[in-house]
Amino acid sequence: MSFVTLLECTSCHKTRSGRELVNLCECGMPLLVKYDLDSIRKTFRREELRFRSASMWRYRELLPARNAEDIVSLGEGFTPLIRAKRLASRIGLKKLWIKDESVNPTGSFKARGLAVAVTMARTLGAKKLAIPSAGNAAGALAAYSAKAGLEAHIFMPQDVPAANRIECEALGAKVTLVDGLITDCGKIVAERQSVEGWFDVSTLKEPYRIEGKKTLGLELAEQLNWRLPKVIFYPTGGGTGLIGMWKAFDEMEQMGWIDSRRPRMVTVQAAGCAPIVRAFEQNEASAQEWLGASTLAAGLRVPKAIGDFMVLNILRESGGCAVAVTDEEMMEDIRVVGRSEGLFMSPEGSATFSALKKLLASGLVAPDEEVVLFNTASGLKYLHCFQGNRPG
């Protein structure tokens, strides 16, 4: 049974049915899924979760799948929240956690969003799916499309890591390498989708990837016994995870699962591609495209995100901020975290630790505050970053 009531535009607030295959609102902005939260609250109690399987589908009432038979799953979600005691002691922080998304199918948090997007695309009649990707989303789409029996058409920058390309090809996807950035890949998908019969599952260009990503927030609350930390550091390219968590916090409050207190949300970007950081610092409502984007953290090489205005709103509403770190800082902190906690983080994940150190030094994070960092992918997918850069 689905508790979805409608889809609502994030900008003009027009609504649409949740029973049609749709990308953006008529005004060109993202759509969000709305639920009958009163009915969910009356029929489902959070205490029942302890009897459910350890995957993100344990929150099925808050996800859009109509029934269990529709779900396309490889066991994604309910990833560990790891207490990082040695790392916290190293920097003088009282309590530090790392939410480790590297154990998801295909090795990254992208599994969450694509599991729901593919589930709903198949349910609503799509046969061919297309995506522009810097790497990890491509692998996830290839995997879930194969599981669902759908075609996957993937467009990635020419310099995408070999691991990502090989993964997609091995899973049966049709891969096209593009001389440009993810934004150039996105333009090709947009131009060809109607002719080719593709359904575009780009970040925030369909309503359901964000529903998978919001389970990050649901899990975090459950794993912390229905409270939230003081500060969350999140590596931000497209920003779907951050937006999704904020949506989850609101839905949980409406159902009485948590109170009204919220964490300060901190967006972390690469110094070589930091459009949201620049917009935040200049007090802009949305970000201008970042020209000449360059960073080892492929997931952060997003020159322009369609949902940047939502990210900026969340940062300001939560009292958070946006921080840029260099590739050198990320690479060094992969080693620091690894040697302290035994986690092989992605550059995007280690960037959150680099940013935390900056905010601790500036006093924007206090030593006695509880902090959560998100490691969004396995470092094993980034071995190319270490070529000629061996650990000392």
Is residue 232 predicted with pLDDT exceeding 80? yes
Per-residue model confidence (pLDDT) at position 391: 37
Q: What is the pTM of this model?
A: 0.94
Mean pLDDT for all residues in the chain: 95
Q: What percent of the chain has pLDDT over 90?
A: 94
Q: Is the pLDDT of residue 303 over 70?
A: yes
Q: What is the pLDDT of residues 311-328, one digit of tens each?
A: 999 999 999 999 999 999
Query: Could you tell me which residues come within 8 angstroms of residue 275 by beta carbon, excluding any fewer than 6 positions away?
Result: 269, 287, 288, 289, 290, 302, 303, 304, 305, 308
Average pLDDT over residues 287-302: 94
What pLDDT sits at residue 333? 98
**Strand 31-35 vs strand 4-9: parallel, antiparallel, or unpaired?**
antiparallel
- Name the 3-class secondary structure at 98: strand
Residue 29: partners with Cβ closer than 8 Å, 6 or more residues away: 9, 10, 11, 12, 306
Domains detected in the chain:
81-108+209-386 (3.40.50.1100)
Q: Tell me, what's the pLDDT at 388?
A: 59
Residues 240-277 have pLDDT tens digits of 999 999 999 999 999 999 999 999 999 999 999 999 99
* Strand 15-16 relative to strand 31-35, pairing: unpaired
Paired with 231 in beta bridges are 264, 371
- DSSP reduced 3-state for 227: coil
Q: Are 189 and 130 in contact (CB under 8 A)?
A: yes
C-alpha dist (Å) from residue 115 to 142, 200, 205, 376? 11, 15, 15, 16
